[in-house]
Amino acid sequence: MRTAPTILHLDMDAFFASAEQAAKPSLRGKAVIVGGLGPRGVVATCSYEARVFGVHSAMPMAQARRLAPNAAYLVPRFGFYREISEQVMGLLRELSPLVEPLSLDEAFVDLEAGEAAWDEASARLAGAKLRADIRAVTGLTGSVGLAASKMLAKIASEQAKPDGLVVIDPGTERELLAPMSVRTLPGVGPATGDHLRRAGITTVGEIAEAGEDEVVRLLGKAHGIALYAMALAHDERPVVAERDTKSVSVEDTYDVDIHDRVRVRMEVQRLADRCVRRLRGAHLSGRTIVLKVRRYDFSTLTRSETLRGPTDDAAVVREAAARLLESVDTTGGVRLLGVGVSGLADYTQEDLFAQVRAQAEARAHAGEPELSAQDKAQEPADEQEAPAVRRWAAGHDVRHAEFGHGWVQGSGIGRVTVRFETPDSEPGRVRTFRIDDPELEPADPLPLVSRRP
């Protein structure tokens, strides 16, 4: 353990929702919920105003609508969030070469490695400057935790939310951890938490009091030893700058269960193609093909097949995924399908026999009919050559030839409602157009902070 709080954990505050509020003046100070808006959508992020009503991340969207019926419900704009994330990560890399991103809005930083801090005072100064820089560059806020270990830095950033900075001084860790729930520790999920609770252990302090032998007896050697060490505030995990990609996968959740076996096969083929495009985009190949099926009763099955060598051939992946599907019973209906590739490599050593099988499979299916119009409508817009109907996603940017830049407030029954405003304007006016209005076009997001010369 270090003797100074020089590991920093940054967590942007309600990132997706805060970015939407910053982009849309009319939503500032109001409940905003970002996620999938279909019947089976889930909440990706919600603003602090929405959390007052009990809404939280990963909640089913239908439940969120019951709790906060008057909130603004928006479809995520991941490209927009990624651009902001790149700005934030750039600021972190100015502090240190050792930056470990955990997601678009969260990362660890080793301040000592970049000589940005060496004691409590310099670490606090670096954290305060980072928060100010993030606000200046993105217009958003982030919470910062500083401690002598990754576990404690993350705990500190949670205590700092929203828009704060907390430093845990070395030597005070065990006193701080003792009254906290066992779920605070990394690796303690609902199942482990319930197992410990049944043994009479509900706080971190009680884990420390139980002793290593008892924790190992309850949880097994590897998990028990690691958990007991963390309860004593021992966490030697280093900040790792690069994380290797372990797999590439895609999946779709369907608003209505798919019962038609032919349709299921078609969806698996489409997902395999999408997965290969993503694989090639990352200049990777892989040996193990994985199929994921979530059935009507929420049971989830995974099947995998390992090839003789890594591949990025779409026909090979399609053929393997189709074989895996044959071992899965989908009679009752399917609500989610996914195809992935693991065992990644940055080269391709094709399995000749797999290619031959795939080519034979392709010839055997050459006479299959094309997707129906209904099936094509299920495909993402970027995979269709000429979508028959223009779709306007709630929250996405548009531009009108007369009224300028705005965002989609809602659409339906052949109409789309747009609020015309920009990040640095006053709340704008709302107008409604036909969905096929030739003067209305999709637009790129505007910067949240005006560019300075």
Residue 266: name the closest of 321, 342, 328, 327 by CA.
Answer: 321
Angle (nearest 5°) at CA 103 between 97 and 109? 30
**Per DSSP, which regions of 312-412 are E strands?**
334-345, 397-400, 404-412
Total number of residues shown for the chain: 453
- 336 by DSSP, 3-state: which? strand
Q: Is 106 a catalytic residue?
A: yes
E strand or H helix that includes residue 371: none
List Cβ neighbours of 308 (8 Å cut-off, separation of 6 or more).
287, 351, 353, 354
Asked if residue 343 lies in contact with residue 368, where contact means CB atoms within 8 angstroms, the answer is no
- Helix crossing, 212-219 with 221-231: angle to 10°? 140
DSSP for residue 184: G
- 70 by DSSP, 3-state: which? coil
Asked if residue 431 lies in contact with residue 404, where contact means CB atoms within 8 angstroms, the answer is no
Asked if residue 119 lies in contact with residue 169, where contact means CB atoms within 8 angstroms, the answer is no
Angle (nearest 5°) at CA 81 between 80 and 87? 100
Both structure tokens of 302: 């995974």
Asked if residue 338 lies in contact with residue 251, where contact means CB atoms within 8 angstroms, the answer is yes
Q: Which of 100, 106, 173, 421 is catalytic?
A: 106
CB-based burial, 406-420: b 16+ in 10 Å, e otherwise: bbbbbbeeeebbbbb
431, β-bridge pairs: 418
Catalytic residues: 106
